[in-house]
Structure 1
Amino acid sequence: MKKCEKEKKVRPGRLLIRPLTSKHRIQRAWMLILTVLICSSAIQVMAQSGEEGLLQAYTEVSGYFDTGTDLMYAVGALLGLVGAVKVFQKWNSGDQDTSKVASAWFGSCIFLIVVATVLKAFFLG
């Protein structure tokens, strides 16, 4: 048998389970967090009238919104620092595509900061 056929062959009674990649682990963690948050907020809202529930949701969201935008600013700053290090490494090694890498890293950093500012102005302004 060829090597490829041996790898595909599964012993009877055993499942073919691949180890999770970091991307899948992060996706599962976010899904778990979102599920817990949705379930806990649904339990609290069920005991109230519609107007009180909406008012409570508004106050909770506006309370977390400043923290969320500050977190987006912090992530943008970290992206800027990581991008600066990556561009500096490419520049020192003599690569020709440093401008392409710099525009990609700093463009993503600026986009994140602009999105945080626009969301803050739109929802809280």
Structure 2
Amino acid sequence: MGRFRFLILLSLAQLAVLVADPLVAFAQPGIAEMGQARSWIREYFFSMRDFSYVVSALVALFGAVVVYHKWQMGKDVGMDIPAWFFSSLFVLLTWTFLLHLFGL
């Protein structure tokens, strides 16, 4: 008897989805707003590319100053040079990864 109730409830749920589905399809306002939001995202995303270039240059300059200072103090800079280089490269390529992730 429990299995029969489960099947009836399952079929009623499927019926409710079939009835509500056309109502949901007609209740989709905002197509123009979605297009506007997409254009804003593209606009700000490509200005983020320029921001990425600037931040990467600042990280590289700061890293160069830190490495130079440590070098002048006589400390080992063997691990600092690749760390600063790859951190700058990461910031530089972040926008490229996001570009392909969002498909812009």
TM-score (norm: length of structure 1): 0.54
Which of 59, 62, 78 is the equivalent residue of 2:42?
Answer: 62
**2:58 is equivalent to residue 78 of structure 1:** yes
Give the aligned residue type for 2:42.
Answer: S
Structure 1 residue 120: Cα displacement: 3.4
Percent identity between the two aligned chains: 35
Structure 1 residue 58: Cα displacement: 0.2
Structure 1 residue 50: Cα displacement: 2.2
- The structure in which a higher percent of residues are helix is 2
Q: Is the 8 A contact 1:73 1:113 kept in 2?
A: yes
How many Å separate the matches in 2 of 1:78 and 1:120? 22
Which of these two proteins has the greater Rg computed from alpha carbons? 2
Structure 1 residue 121: Cα displacement: 4.9
RMSD: 1.5
Q: Which has the higher contact order (CA 8 A, sep 6+)?
A: 2
Q: Is the 8 A contact 1:69 1:120 kept in 2?
A: no
Give unmatched runs, 5+ long, in structure 1: 1-48
Give unmatched runs, 5+ long, in structure 2: 1-28
TM-score (norm: length of structure 2): 0.64
Structure 1 residue 92: Cα displacement: 1.0
- Number of residue pairs matched by the alignment: 75
Structure 1 residue 70: Cα displacement: 0.7
The superposition leaves residues 34-93 of structure 1 with CA deviations (integer Å, 9 ceiling, x where unpaired) of xxxxxxxxxxxxxxx321121110011111111111101110011000001100111111
The match for 1:11 is none
